[in-house]
Structure 1
Amino acid sequence: MELTALADIKPFKSEWRIQVKVLHTWKHYTKLSGETLEIILSDAHGTKILASCKKTYFEKFAKKVPVGMWRNIENFSINGPGVSYRPTNHQYKINFIYGTDITPSTLQNDSMFLSLVDFQTIQQGVEDENILIDVIGEVTDLGSLDTVLCYGKERKKIEFSLTDLQGRRIACCLWGKFAESIHANCKAVGGDTVICLLRFVKVGTYRDEVQISNSYDASQIFFNPPIMESEAFLKRDVASNALTLVESEQDKLEREIRRDKWMQYPIRDIAELLSSTQIEQCRVIATIYAIDKDWGWYYFGCKVCNKKVNKISTKVQIVKGNEITTHLWWCEKCDDKVTKVLPKFRIHAWVKDGTGEAYLMLLDWIAVGVIPETAAALLNGSFEELQDIESFPEAVTDLVGKTFMFGIYIESNNVASKGGMYKVGKVWKDPSMLLTGGSTTELWTHSDVGTSNLSGSHANENTVVTPSSKRKQQSNEGEPDISSTTKKQCARVFVKKEKTTKENSSSKKSG
């Protein structure tokens, strides 16, 4: 059977023979199709097409399509490519069938068959945002690696910019393993230049700014790839580079603020917070002056859904001379017994500014942004409930006397009671963030909280146990829904910070 170019295959028959290079593979799951192996192929002309293999044929075909190898593929069906986030612009898609035959090819070509889109085109608007693209640039403005709660699951996230040779910037946001990869790579090289090639990524808009992000596992990421485009970045004149990439700290801060959805919400003092008459979000700058120890400082959450679990039993066995302890828990959300749980923070705190006092709750993915250790580290492997409320770790009690800006959810119960417990959606501890943004400076001018607290210094109050009057006020509220802040929306919240290379070199960036 003669070879046919990918541009010429049509769906009217299945007897085709193509010679292609495997560019990328990943597993994908949908309720309609189940689990599939997705494969991006390119022929020698650079025409790319997506191929799909059902789980039924994994054993037969999966090992025959290693990334980077050329293959001859015969007999396959051809269908429409779908609508959203297509990894190629081909009008059709290949599906492996029972009679598909895959054999090695003698063709050798190391090309990556890139389809790079320049930054100017991206900024002006790509022709079809549903088609994934390739981009390359120097990594700049690298933010912190954060953990956010999205649809009940914790995910890693990082924001940064890619800068081209002309100094144009494109905002980027990567998730999951891609976020961890760029964070680790940039940290490893210190202050050296990092050229990042992103393949099969999507173009979108976030807060009126064009943004690049990965399309689940369909995307790829490469650092300093051995291609001509990378060499152009690395060879450019150092002086010219300095002039092109120079940017003030104020410019960087303003860009971070634009990217942060919480910055669209107004800044309120505590008096305004307590008198709010509508369900909304706002930001409040205040000092923690007491921790409510009655609620403890941690709970155990299911690894699957993150909801609070309750211990059913503890079993101790001797296995090969070693004592093995197994805990069994009940998860209401999963409606099942579970053994895999994680300790998570749940901090109830009283805060104040010059206008009043408020009662806040910080759950795990928020608290880890201001507590230097994780709950698991503080418990040192223990899966026992708190036995003594006076045994709070210093990492928690040290919050007393420190000033932060809190992103707060005002919910229906808060409006009805003109107070109560407010749930926190984000915490800022960076002084530059506290002092930036319109009425923020004015708020500090009229507050009785000293500006020395902006650097996290301790106030005069060292009280940790909640005053009895405050404890009585909260006694009728009951235990909060541990994950209720996620019911309204997928939380895009920077909560778990890991230092970036720039932070290690004393260059401050906001979270």
Structure 2
Amino acid sequence: MAQIVNGFINDLSAVRDNIKLRVRVLRTWMQPLFSNPKILNLELIVMDEQASHTGTRVQVQIRQKLVDRFKHHLEEGKTVMIQHYSLGEIQPKFRVIKKGLRISFLSNTTVEKCLDFSGSKYGFDFRNFDTITNVTLEEDGQFDVIGQVVACDEMDCYDKNGKTGKKKPLTLLDAEGKELRCTLWGAFAQQFSDFLTECPDHTRIIAVLYLGMMKFWNGKVGVQNGYNATKLFLFNGKESITAPEFKDVDDFRLRLLTAQTEEKEEHTASRISTASTYSTKDDFVNNHPLRKIVDLLDVKQGDPSVIVGTICAVNEEDGWWYLGCGKCKKKVVKASEVVDLDAETPQKSAGGPTEWFCTKCDAVCASLKSVYRLQIRVQDSTGTCSLSLFNDEVQAYVGRSAYQLSDKYGKSDSTFVPPEITSIIRSKYAFKVFMDKFNATKLLPVFNVKSMSADPQIIASLQADTTPAKPDNEGSSASVPVITPFELESQTDDNSSPTNAEKTPGSNKRSADEEADGSMSSNGKKIAVEIKQEKDE
């Protein structure tokens, strides 16, 4: 029998399993057996003391019948000595780390406390962005990534294989100025969103994706959290990181400080902050004609106009959000309800009961997006009109995505509008508006908003240019009359929220669907769509 010797993970091989290892437990989770999900094995990632940044981690498996015997010795962060184990080959699709060997515990495996372990707490092994972005085939195994968050999309929902959850796309930047796409799912998406709320400065957020994985999307490579083992660490890079276990992170922070300028910081903050279509003062004051509401119907279709008015009501009957295609934002319908009226033979269902169909893409949606669409009433001294606000405009003043509000209020009555939205009532704004082809045919027209601003200087400049001298006998009122919620026919067709390219004079088509027939009840009220969320353990 071979003698037990002290060694490192890099010394392990199919013929060398007589090594006594000193390791720290990095991650643990229960893993269902692929062939029998009722059987749960305990999986671990452990790390040794070796200074090398290659091969110092290994995956460990403890079969279900041995779990109770060992689990209290193997909590995350503990350091132990293990011996008398077996080494097996782990198939690539089951690997959490790249190493092809896996330690399996036996009935005679021994685990002892290691009180003098000299290795680090996490053993970060940050991978260079070039080694990720230059690959042509997706690699197995999980690894560590560090970067500054220089951009992020709003948190949204996804729908894949009948499962829904949260999604947060980010862009990471390394110290050499290279960018990497990163997508957070589920609890990790929520963790990042919560951090944004708590962190006062978004100009230098540092993210560490610990044991993340590689993924290709639309032919481009990026990283995401894995199904198991991944941890997400987030830091405000404006502050020193003093914890000794995060020394590598602070070193990265210091490299960023020397490489970046103040101008880059401001650009980063704008890419991370809520997207806004607010225009500049020049765009409102000089680039487009200022008109009164009573004159809007005389304007040529597609030509933008600027108005100043007070929001006096929100149309509750038309709802405030819808579920759209993740690709084009058009409102989706249940795939099982799609019917081809031109088909000569009975049509098979386009998808399962949990799948959604986009009539614009003519396909089952790979992802879903919660989209704001809101109709408001605005009043000036000459009259009142209806305006449609789309996703960017609403999100800019609400400060939260449609997904976040629908997740919070989705089960409310269909006519309920969240207070985060109704708080805009009685506020004065400058609006840049236009009439599209569809709305021009309506008895009660609705104008689309291209951009809006509550900037007091912009509003003052506009009002100064148009306020006439008031006759001595003219009455005045300092208050705006209260207008109660109204009931109007929906003023949108099967269209979409105008994109930047489509929000131009002469454009007659919008890219996201606002009012699909499937979203309306028999009495014309919008039916709130309930999205079930999976709980992340």
Relative to structure 1, is the Cα distance of residues 154 and 467 closer, same or farther in structure 2, using a 3 angstrom cutoff? Answer: closer
Instruction: Spell out, residue by residue over 1:355-402, the C-alpha distance to the aligned partner (whole angstroms, 9 max, x if none).
Output: xxxxxxxxxxx98578695133x36xxxxxxxxxxx94356999x979
Conserved? CA contact 1:79–1:93, under 8 Å: yes
Cα displacement (A) at 1:102? 0.4
Letter in 1 for 2:213: K
From the superposition, tell whether residues 40 and 287 of structure 1 become closer, same or farther in structure 2 (CA, over 3 Å): closer
SS of equivalent to 1:125: coil
Counterpart check, 1:241 vs 2:241: no
Structure-1 residue corresponding to 2:110: 101
**AA matched with 1:24:** R
Once residues 127 and 394 of structure 1 are traced to their aligned partners in structure 2, the CA distance between those partners, rounded to angstroms, is 47
Whether 1:82 aligns to 2:91 is yes
Q: CA deviation at 1:190?
A: 2.0
2:40 aligns to what?
A: 35
Alignment of 1:51 with 2:60, yes or no, is yes
The structure 1 residue matched to 2:507, chosen from 427, 439, 445, is 445
Aligned residue for 1:84, secondary structure, equals helix
Deviation at residue 145 of structure 1 after TM alignment = 2.5
Structure 1 pair 226–14 and aligned structure 2 pair: CA distance change class (3 A) = closer
Secondary structure of the structure 2 residue equivalent to 1:195: strand
Q: Which amino acid aligns with 1:233?
A: R
User: What's the offset of the Cα at 1:231?
Assistant: 3.0
TM-superposed CA distance for 1:72, in Å, is: 0.7
SS at match of 2:106: coil
Match of 1:231 in 2: 251
Residue 229 of structure 2 is matched in structure 1 by 218
Alignment-mate amino acid for residue 198 of structure 1: L
The answer on 1:132 being equivalent to 2:142 is yes
Q: Which residue of 1 aligns with 2:159?
A: 149
1:184 aligns with 2:194: yes
**Match of residue 374 from structure 1:** 409
Q: Distance in 1 between matches of 2:144 and 2:187?
A: 18
8 Å contact kept, 2:175–2:255:
no
- Shift, 1:13, TM fit: 7.1
Question: Hey, what's the Cα distance between the residues in 1 that align with 2:208 and 2:93?
Answer: 22
Say whether 1:26 aligns with 2:29.
Answer: yes
| Whole-Å separation in 2 of the counterparts to 1:53 and 1:105 | 20
Matched pairs, number: 345
* Aligned positions of 1:79-478 closer than 5 A: 79-84=88-93, 86-111=95-120, 112-125=122-135, 129-192=139-202, 193-224=204-235, 226-234=246-254, 236-237=256-257, 240-244=260-264, 262-263=326-327, 281-283=358-360, 374-376=409-411, 378=412, 392-393=415-416, 434-437=498-501, 440-441=502-503, 445-446=507-508
Q: CA 1:172–1:107 in 2, change beyond 3 Å: closer, same or farther?
A: same
Shift of 1:213: 0.6
- Aligned pair in 2 of structure 1 residues 249, 134: CA closer, same or farther (>3 Å)? closer
How far is 1:170 from its partner?
0.7
Decide whether the 8 Å contact of 2:150 with 2:272 is kept in 1. Answer: no
Q: Counterpart of 1:217 in 2: which secondary structure? A: coil
Structure 1 residues 281 and 465, CA, compared in 2 at 3 Å: closer, same or farther?
A: closer
- Identical residues among aligned pairs (%): 16
CA contact (8 A) 1:16 1:76 kept: no
Q: Name the larger-Rg structure.
A: 2
Give, in angstroms, the shift of residue 52 of structure 1: 0.9
Q: Do 1:167 and 1:245's aligned partners in 2 also have CA atoms closer than 8 Å?
A: no
What is the alpha-carbon distance in structure 2 between the residues aligned to residue 275 and residue 442 of structure 1?
Answer: 34
- 1:10 corresponds to which of 9, 13, 36: 13
For residues 150-209 of structure 1, what are the alpha-carbon distances to aligned partners after superposition, in whole Å with 9 as ceiling and x for unaligned?
Answer: 333332221111111122111111112211222222321121522111122111221232
Give the Cα separation in 1 of the matches to 2:177 and 2:112.
46
Distance 1:274 1:106 in 2: 68
Distance in 1 separating the partners of 2:59 and 2:150: 32
Residues 123 and 241 (structure 1), Cα distance of their counterparts in 2 relative to 1, 3 Å cut? farther
**What residue identity is the alignment partner of 2:507?**
T
8 Å Cα contact 1:207/1:261 also seen in 2: no
Deviation at 1:234, TM superposition (A): 4.2
DSSP-derived class of the 2:116 partner = coil
C-alpha change, 1:228 and 1:29, in structure 2 (3 Å) is same
Partner Cα separation in structure 2 for residue 140 and residue 153 of structure 1: 29
Report the CA distance between 1:243 and its aligned residue: 4.8
When normalised by structure 2's length, the TM-score is: 0.52
Letter in 2 for 1:281: C
Write the deviation string for residues 380-433 of structure 1: whole angstroms up to 9, x where unpaired.
Answer: xxxxxxxxxxx94356999x979799xxxxxxxxxxxxxxxxxx9xx976xxxx
The answer to whether the 8 A contact 1:139-1:196 is kept is yes
Shift, 1:108, TM fit: 2.5
Q: Which runs of 5+ in 1 are unaligned?
A: 268-272, 290-352, 354-365, 380-390, 406-423, 457-463, 472-478, 492-511
Measure the CA separation in 2 of the matches of 1:130 and 1:227: 28
Structure 1 residues 191 and 98: alpha-carbon distance in aligned structure 2, compared to 1, 3 A threshold: same
Change in Cα spacing, 1:147 to 1:375, as seen in structure 2 (3 Å) is: same
CA distance in 2, matches of 1:404, 1:37: 55
- Go from structure 1 to structure 2 and tell me whether the alpha carbon gap of 1:128 and 1:158 turns closer, same or farther (over 3 Å shift): closer
CA separation of 1:24 and 1:84: change in aligned 2, threshold 3 A? same
Indicate if the aligned counterparts of 2:29 and 2:228 stay in contact, CA closer than 8 A.
yes
Cα distance between partner residues in 2 of 1:80 and 1:368: 43
Structure 2 Cα separation of the partners of residues 371 and 44 of structure 1:
48
Partners of 1:68 and 1:249 lie apart in 2 by: 35
Aligned to 1:384: none
CA distance in 2, matches of 1:137, 1:103: 37
Aligned partners of 1:288 and 1:403 also within 8 Å: no
Q: CA RMSD in A?
A: 5.2
CA distance in 2, matches of 1:169, 1:210: 11
Partner of 2:441: none
Partners of 2:185 and 2:26 lie apart in 1 by 21
Q: 57-66 or 104-113, which moves further after superposition? A: 104-113
The amino acid across from 1:435 in the alignment is T
- The residue type equivalent to 2:410 in the other structure is A
Q: Secondary structure at the match of 2:181?
A: strand
Where 1:197 maps in the other structure, the secondary structure is strand
